[in-house]
Structure 1
Amino acid sequence: MASNLTIGQRIAWYRRRRGLSQEVLAGLVGRTTDWLSKVENDRISLDRLSVIKSIANALDVSLGDLLAEPSLFEWSDDRGSHSIPALRAALTDYRQLSPMAVRIGQEEPPSSAGLASEIAEVWKAYQSSLYTKVVERLPVLLAEAHHAERFSHGDARHAALGVLGQVYHAAASILTKVGEADLAWIAAERGLAYAQESRSQVVTVSLLRSVTHALLANGRYDAAIQLTSDAAALLDDDLPKATPDLLSVYGTLFLAGSMAAARAEDRATTRAFLAEAQESATRLGTDANHAWTAFGPTNVAIHRVATAIELGDIQVAIDIGPKLDTSALPIERRVRHALAVAHALSLWNRTDEALATLLDAEKMAPEQVRYHYLGRQLVLSWIRRQKGKPSFQLTDLARRLRIV
């Protein structure tokens, strides 16, 4: 399906493929036929993933099928024409899974310290929203980390396993960002297995958070909520003496859980998870980036805005979001918040402000705006709402996002 369809148009396409009338599908999701007709004709914007997920369930398709296809990465002379398919091949390479696949005469594996330095560079690129750079580096780094783990013993092997878990975490994170939900799940699940073997509590909790995000991307909100609660329970005894790293990954675990609860329309759990994250942020005392989490009071506030939008509390998002100073956080966090603010402003029919917000975000991180489904859907909805010719700014943005 073409990537220039709105969510409403996708719903209409899948509904017709299922042979369902508007009346039948509307009944399956507890809505009126008039409401569904307006959704399919872009007269109503679907602002909550919980509603989109209910329609996906009724149509028996994945959440990603309605949000959009994964975006294609740009080719360039220096990077070549290998991107997500290369990462997919690395993740599904049977040789990474079998101890019998050790090559005779293979060169000495890289040290754990060297690999840790490389994964740090990948996380820096990710937090700078340099997605193409992340995707380019990960397949090679994945092979190197597996090679190091196979030839290590004792404490060195535990260190190598920890790095391997982090590489899979980075893979799951970038795959989630670009809409490859199924691949993200594979990476997160596999990374968690290696993290647990590493005996590193911080790496393990980081991968539990990664699994939570993968569950979110696949629309499995109840499972993500349960995982958050179960994972937190494992850390109860260690929290009083938690290091900044552990405190940060613990806090971000609850932030991910709060998004799952909001998408499941569970207000009580959303509040409880945000309160738990806030307590960790208060203990930490400041915005920081321990264990590449960008965790602190501001990130908690960002999630208050994001969960408010998911729960339909747009006024709350409007009151908090535009005023929030995110300048101390990594670009990825700042731009994701800007996308949420643009979304809220758009829902409040303040389209000019929403467009200005999105354009500012694009200046900071063009790749992140281009590859996130929300940026594309906002621009598509604005173009289709225009009664006359769209503005040059809007048309030019649509061209850059490859949707016209």
Structure 2
Amino acid sequence: MMDDAQSIGQRMRDARLRLGLTQADVAAALGYTQGWVSKAEKGRIELDRTSMINAVASVLHIHPNELIERPYRTTASANQWRVSAASIIRELRRYDLAPVFDGTPRPAPVLWAETRGLHSLRDDAKNTSILALLPDLLREARALVEVSRGRQREEAFGVYAVVCKFGHTAAHALGHPELVTMTCERAAWAADRSGDELLPAVADWMRVWDMWATADWDDAMALSDKALHRVEPLYGRGDPAAVRVWGSLQLRAAVSAARASRAGEARHRVAQAHEAAGRLGGALLPFDRHSLTFSRGNVAIHAVNVELEMSHQSEALRLHREMEPGALESLPRSRRGHYRLDLARAYLWSGERDRALHELEIAEATAPQLIRNHPIARATLRRIRSAGRAGVSERLRRMSSRFHLDD
């Protein structure tokens, strides 16, 4: 049985041959050597960077999920989220048709209150639970649009857009590209009708994430700047919601620049986000309707991620050591899980395999559903396992079983 790395390599080779490309052609497009492509196709190189996976997939004109065969094979019970995903897609397809809804839809303030529960589930990385709730919420928000006028109608569109945003996050985490695309498109459609000056920029923030899948780093930067220009007047006036959107867009731009190997630009964007977080200070919005996780702590962990994206693991670990005490504790589980995964990679690339395994275990314990479905977590685990020593072999075996690596 081939392991994941070998399977990815085989799919990489198959896609290359379908296009009639040589290994040298692919190497030239990627900026790597022909030997690197040969090793990758034989499973001797782990594609353990998102930017690398996306760049390879883009050159081969396939979706990254096709390359890494995601969603992953797992248990029947764990696959039930696909039923919810199918129901959501049906609702999104009929967005401009009369909704099928029995009874009278609840008013917008009540539906906004429902999104608080989605926010909590998102923070805890419970993505399958999010998807289970979305079909009914989308249907009811769409029904409210039909029966309302004026501001109430705009608010219903706002609810619809933000519910799509939660679906977008969950679909990315679970690996459902069709749902990712449709939630992004419908969020933009609803945001333009919501009367919310910031919501179209939030929809652009979602689109930037999707541009990463095709390694369109420059387009991702351009879209971030377009959205930043849109919110600049409100940001200049110090509106707290606008500060959150501005800072979140700067962090998106920072990651895009890092993946494009533009170190100066990436660090400049992190500095801009840090300034935005300083402007926000300790101000708490009564309700963050856009559900953006933006704070000083979030800027700090993005700074580490940006260095790691540029293969500067020593700098990433230095920033980790100098991080403000308590910065991580203030973040939701989803963000802390991602961050611990970043630390696992940084330690692994620095030759500290035991510390890497320890951080990966913390990541899994913090956000199990997120980490077990994360392609970079799986690639990191495979690399640790391939170099594992007897003292950690049982831990690795158990973790591999939980990740279904050998199924």
> Which amino acid is the alignment partner of residue 309 of structure 2?
E
- The partner residue of 1:134 within 114, 130, 135 is 130
Q: 1:86 to 1:390 in 2, by over 3 A?
A: same
**Larger displacement relative to structure 2 (226-235 or 271-280):** 271-280
- The partner residue of 1:346 within 345, 348, 351 is 348
Does residue 396 of structure 2 align to residue 394 of structure 1? yes
Separation in structure 2 between the aligned mates of residue 378 and residue 9 of structure 1, nearest angstrom? 19
Unaligned runs of 5+ in 2: none
Q: Which residue of 2 aligns with 1:30?
A: 31
Separation in structure 1 between the aligned mates of residue 215 and residue 352 of structure 2, nearest angstrom? 29
Q: Which residue of 2 aligns with 1:333?
A: 335
- The partner residue of 1:153 within 135, 140, 149 is 149
Matched-pair contact (CA < 8 Å) for 2:224–2:250: yes
Does residue 125 of structure 2 align to residue 123 of structure 1? no
Matched-pair contact (CA < 8 Å) for 1:28–1:58: yes
Give the share of equivalent positions with the same residue, in percent: 27
Matched-pair contact (CA < 8 Å) for 2:328–2:336: yes
Over the aligned positions, Cα root-mean-square deviation in angstroms equals 2.8
Q: 1:10 to 1:323 in 2, by over 3 A?
A: farther
Matched-pair contact (CA < 8 Å) for 1:47–1:310: no
**Larger displacement relative to structure 2 (304-313 or 84-93):** 84-93
Q: Secondary structure at the match of 2:330?
A: coil
Aligned residues: 399
1:288-327 equivalences in 2 (<5 Å): 290=288, 291-321=290-320, 324=323, 325-327=327-329
Q: Secondary structure at the match of 1:197?
A: coil
Q: 1:57 to 1:81 in 2, by over 3 A?
A: closer
Q: Which residue of 2 aligns with 1:63?
A: 64
Separation in structure 2 between the aligned mates of residue 322 and residue 395 of structure 1, nearest angstrom? 30
**Larger displacement relative to structure 2 (26-35 or 276-285):** 26-35
How many Å apart are 1:387 and its aligned residue? 7.8
Matched-pair contact (CA < 8 Å) for 1:287–1:328: no
Superposed CA offset, 1:173-198 (max 9, x none) = 11112222342122112102211211
Separation in structure 2 between the aligned mates of residue 48 and residue 246 of structure 1, nearest angstrom? 31
Q: 1:12 to 1:102 in 2, by over 3 A?
A: closer
How many Å apart are 1:90 and its aligned residue? 2.2
**Larger displacement relative to structure 2 (224-233 or 26-35):** 26-35
Does residue 242 of structure 2 align to residue 240 of structure 1? no
How many Å apart are 1:68 and its aligned residue? 4.0
Q: 1:227 to 1:141 in 2, by over 3 A?
A: same
Q: 1:390 to 1:9 in 2, by over 3 A?
A: farther
Separation in structure 1 between the aligned mates of residue 72 and residue 142 of structure 2, nearest angstrom? 28
How many Å apart are 1:215 and its aligned residue? 2.1
> Which amino acid is the alignment partner of residue 245 of structure 2?
V
Q: 1:323 to 1:374 in 2, by over 3 A?
A: farther
Matched-pair contact (CA < 8 Å) for 1:181–1:218: no
Separation in structure 2 between the aligned mates of residue 92 and residue 357 of structure 1, nearest angstrom? 40
Matched-pair contact (CA < 8 Å) for 2:29–2:59: yes
**Larger displacement relative to structure 2 (256-265 or 58-67):** 58-67
How many Å apart are 1:298 and its aligned residue? 1.5
Unaligned runs of 5+ in 1: none
